[in-house]
A and B are shown apart, each in its own frame.
Chain A
């Protein structure tokens, strides 16, 4: 914290600051340890030959092979990919167009609409889950892929919308004007000028939508059926039963994918600057 200070002003600071600084760093290190130790242990023990976690009885990659050969798990992963893929696509469409229209036009009810968009982002997932379940039951629509995807799009697209809106605020409005002055139709101006400018925000929003959908358990729990069970649903079921080294292996894969994702999205963010 003293990095921004000149030496002169630092001398006037109480000497306790130095102590406070190292206490803060120490605490941060401890919290990081708390955040990472369980994950690291999980990954380490995914290579343990023993079924029980306690004893280390030798290295094996066998649990990974078993995950790979587990039909229901692969099926669930496939379902997760389909659900996350389709709902990301729909979220990007709804979110980008919605952000553009809310940004571009003034109309009555725009503020109300903006507030309504924020509701699914903050609403507790269990409430969204049960109200969607009741809706589908009332209109007689069966649970399954469509129900799950509808749920996922509902909580994902506002995140795309907000990301795109933030980018639109920094956009030069003269660009669209110039495009139209040069003979582009409004749709051409949007597609050929605005969308390319928004690409970093759209990519960031899409990544967000995909991860939210890929990890989601609660809303899915209330809207899925056996055939459309996603990976989190399966993992939840397995974790309820107890320890299973296969889950360790699966978790390790997930964690690795998450690390890759975090670095990738960091890279995308830097591109956007």
Chain B
């Protein structure tokens, strides 16, 4: 904080944060309107739709029904939900296990190396996930690079049929979301006070103890943020699962997409979306608490 800002805090009357006058309200209006029209209203309408019926041609009838939710809790769809959560969870765990050491290594590296390594993570972070997924299609496809290399070493082998399998889906998801895990953990590691680690060693803790009782708790907010950035989008992702899994591994995102684009059962799609939204809100709340708690205990 600048000295002047500190002085302002000490003399609240001098540099006050005023109540807006009408002109300021007028300026605020576009943003408020935008958020109400395109965030609040669509969500509300989605919820309304989830209680509606549809006729034979897919038009929505505004009559109240709980049928859509009854269908969501049908074992078939519960199973798809469970599988989506499982794949997203697996992706998140792999991203943490693979990404944490990388984030730690970058965060503790010397300044000039840190900048270089960070740029190296930024490039895949900003490269379109579609292109990065396509890269894996060229590798995993039956007549792709992996099998090409395999045949180079042992001619005549049938090769692996990896594309359009659950393995391919998880590879695609991990590849797409790994940078989103590394960057927030890096943020936490960078803030880590080296003196605390040193103190722990001086007090006789072994490397494992230091890692589990000092480093992990202090970097947990980063892991929580990374989990939000990876898990939540991965649950609802349909493009990567479409490209890497074909139609063979439908996840909840594919089912929702299908209800809106092909099956034209919008109310049912809306109900699936509403349940997903609840799931998202719950995850978000838990992770926020987790991150906040750790920050409190540090402060």
Contact = CB atoms under 8 A, between A and B. Distances in A.
> Are the chains A and B members of one assembly?
yes
Interface of A: 1, 3-5, 9, 12-14, 16-17, 20, 24-25, 27-28, 31-32, 34-36, 38-39, 41-42, 45, 52-55, 94, 97-98, 101, 104-107, 113, 116-117, 119-120, 122-128, 130-135, 137-138, 150-151, 153-154, 157, 170-174, 177, 186, 211, 215, 217-218, 221-222, 232, 235-236, 239-240, 242-243, 247-248, 251, 254-255, 258-259, 261-263, 266
Contact of A28 (B8, B30, B46, B117): B117
5 contacts: A31-B101, A119-B39, A174-B15, A236-B130, A254-B127
Given A39-B127, A97-B30, A222-B260, A104 B141 contact: no
Nearest to B151: A54
Given A53-B148, A127-B277, A254-B128, A38 B201 contact: no
B40 interface: yes
Q: Which of B8, B35, B133, B269 has the most CB of A within 10 A?
A: B35
B81 interface: no
Interface in B73-118: 98-99, 101-102, 104-106, 108-110, 117
Q: Which of A12, A101, A153 has the most CB of B within 10 A?
A: A101
A251 B49 CA distance: 39
Given A28-B106, A45-B138, A251-B131, A135 B42 contact: yes
A242 B141 contact: yes
Contact of A42 (B18, B131, B233, B273): B131
Main secondary structure of the interface of A (DSSP, over half): helix
A101 B27 contact: yes
A173 B126 contact: no
Nearest to B174: A34
A124 B20 contact: no
B126 to A, nearest CB: 5
A14 B206 contact: yes
Contacts of B128: 215, 232, 235, 254, 258
A97 B27 contact: yes
Q: Which of B136, B151, B207 has the most CB of A within 10 A?
A: B207
B2 A170 contact: yes
Nearest to B152: A54
Contacts of B49: 134
Contact of B232 (A5, A34, A124, A173): A124
A227 B8 CA distance: 54
A123 B235 CA distance: 12
Contact of A248 (B106, B138, B237): B138
A119 to B, nearest CB: 6
A262 B123 contact: yes
Given A39-B124, A53-B148, A127 B138 contact: no
Contacts of B15: 173-174, 177
B236 A125 contact: yes
Interface of B: 1-2, 4-5, 8, 15, 17-20, 23-24, 27-28, 30-32, 34-35, 38-43, 45-46, 49, 98-99, 101-102, 104-106, 108-110, 117, 119-124, 126-139, 141, 143-145, 147-148, 151, 175, 178-179, 194, 198, 201-202, 206-207, 228, 232-233, 235-239, 242-243, 253, 256-257, 260, 266, 269-270, 273, 276-277, 280, 284
Contacts of B266: 134, 137
A178 B239 CA distance: 53
Contact of A106 (B19, B131, B269): B19
B252 to A, nearest CB: 9
Contacts of B99: 31
A239 B129 CA distance: 12
In the A-B complex, the 5 residue pairs with the closest CB atoms? A54-B148, A131-B42, A1-B108, A38-B135, A98-B31
A177 B123 CA distance: 42
A126 B256 contact: yes
Contacts of A125: 233, 236
Contacts of B276: 124, 126-127
Given A42-B134, A104-B17, A122 B228 contact: yes
Nearest to A158: B35
A72 B34 CA distance: 32
Contacts of A1: 105, 108-109
Contacts of A94: 30-31, 34
Contacts of B120: 32, 35-36
Contact of A130 (B39, B121, B260): B260
Given A31-B102, A135-B41, A173 B236 contact: no
B270 A52 contact: no
A173 B10 CA distance: 13
A135 B108 contact: no
A107 B19 contact: yes
A120 B34 CA distance: 12
Given A1-B109, A235-B131, 5 more contacts: A52-B143, A106-B18, A127-B273, A150-B38, A243-B138
A14 B147 CA distance: 45
A177 B122 CA distance: 39
Given A42-B138, A263-B119, A154 B45 contact: no
A130 B46 contact: yes
